[in-house]
Amino acid sequence: MSDEGEKKKHPPFWRDFGSIIVAILVALVVRTVAAEPFNVPSASMVPTLLIGDTLIAGKYAYGFSKFSSPLDIVPNTLGDRLSGRILEQPAKRGDVIVFKLPRDTSINYVKRLIGLPGDRIQVKSGRLYINGEMLARREDGDFSGELGMRTRISRRYVETLPGGLEHKIIEDSDTAPLDDTTEFTVPPGNYFMMGDNRDNSLDSRVPAIAGGVGFVPAQNLVGRVDRIMYSRDLDAPWWDLPAIARGFRGQRFFAAVQ
């Protein structure tokens, strides 16, 4: 068959359309099995994450579930096997994780993993206890920045998790509503999440039935946050291009998340 016949059989439009479809499918595969960007809309993870950070969440860290697809179109055909995940790897205490909110899986949350299955978690007078042991923390100066709808100064601490991992938290006081809780026992196949902005985080300290996060099933983990892709101040008006340019936080570009 001649080249002219091939061109008539497959006109340029259909060749281009096919290329676009292939490119979309490749992008979906990459975002499902490799990594996906997420934006930080709240101050619940300050000082680790700021409003306006765009994160890279590694999908491969914990294996894959129906929530690994960026379009939420993968059916759950795995049943209860491997906690609803394939190639499952257990999450580690201290990981910063993007997960699907258990009471509404259309919503992504990002928090730090504090409690593993079987752990006993409690907050008393602002101090975190894991399995009956109070975690060490040391003062680390003040944090001044945007916390929710206003800018204020909070006390910053370095907290040490079991195993020695250190990370920074902030506290406005040790008498806030979530600074004294009952003792939670993390069920099998679930995790306990908390925000680093301890007095301003809706997390596993609040049960799902009360509008909080509650325990997070392993199946709901989307990916581990290891790095910030870029960051900018979202207060700049969309029409003010110089303000938008000044709002980029260059020191946070590709910064590691600890």
- Report d(CA 96, CA 167) in Å as an integer: 11
| pLDDT, tens digit, 9 for 90 and up, residues 35-85 | 577 889 899 999 999 999 998 888 777 877 777 655 554 444 443 444 466
Is 111 considered catalytic here? yes
- Based on the number of CB atoms within 10 Å of its own CB, is 111 exposed (0-12), middle (13-18) or buried (19 or more)? buried
* pLDDT on residue 17: 46
Band (pLDDT 50/70/90 cuts) for residue 181 is very high
The single residue listed with the structure tokens 């099933």 is 217
Every domain of the chain and the residues it spans: 34-252
| Helix/strand/coil (H/E/C) assignment for every residue in 20-31 | HHHHHHHHHHHH
Asked if 179 and 201 touch (Cβ cutoff 8 Å), the reply is no
Asked if 210 and 102 touch (Cβ cutoff 8 Å), the reply is no
Whether the per-residue pLDDT at 174 is higher than 70: the answer is: yes
Catalytic residue (choose from 44, 65, 69, 204):
44
Catalytic residue (choose from 68, 69, 111, 231):
111
Whether the per-residue pLDDT at 212 is higher than 90: the answer is: yes
| pLDDT, tens digit, 9 for 90 and up, residues 182-207 | 999 999 999 999 999 999 999 999 99
- Report d(CA 119, CA 81) in Å as an integer: 22
| Helix/strand/coil (H/E/C) assignment for every residue in the chain | CCHHHHHHHCCHHHHHHHHHHHHHHHHHHHHHHCEEEEECCCCCCCCCCCCCEEEEEECCECEECHHHCCCCCCCCCCCCHHHHCECCCCCCCCCEEEEECCCCCCCEEEEEEEECCCCEEEEECCEEEECCEECCEEEEEEEEEEECCEEEEEEEEEEECCCCCEEEEEECCCCCHHHCCCCEECCCCEEEEECCECCCCCCCCCCHHHCCCCCEEHHHEEEEEEEEEEEECCCCCCCCHHHHHHCECHHHCCCECC
Quote the Cα angle for 59-65-69, to 5°: 65
- Average pLDDT, whole number, for the chain? 81
Among the ranges given (61-65, 130-134, 189-193, 227-231), the one the predictor scored with the smallest mean pLDDT: 61-65
| pLDDT, tens digit, 9 for 90 and up, residues 20-32 | 444 433 434 444 4
Is 8 considered catalytic here? no
| pLDDT, tens digit, 9 for 90 and up, residues 145-156 | 765 556 678 999
- CATH architecture of the domain covering 34-252: Ribbon (2.10)
Task: Return the amino acid letter for 79.
Answer: G
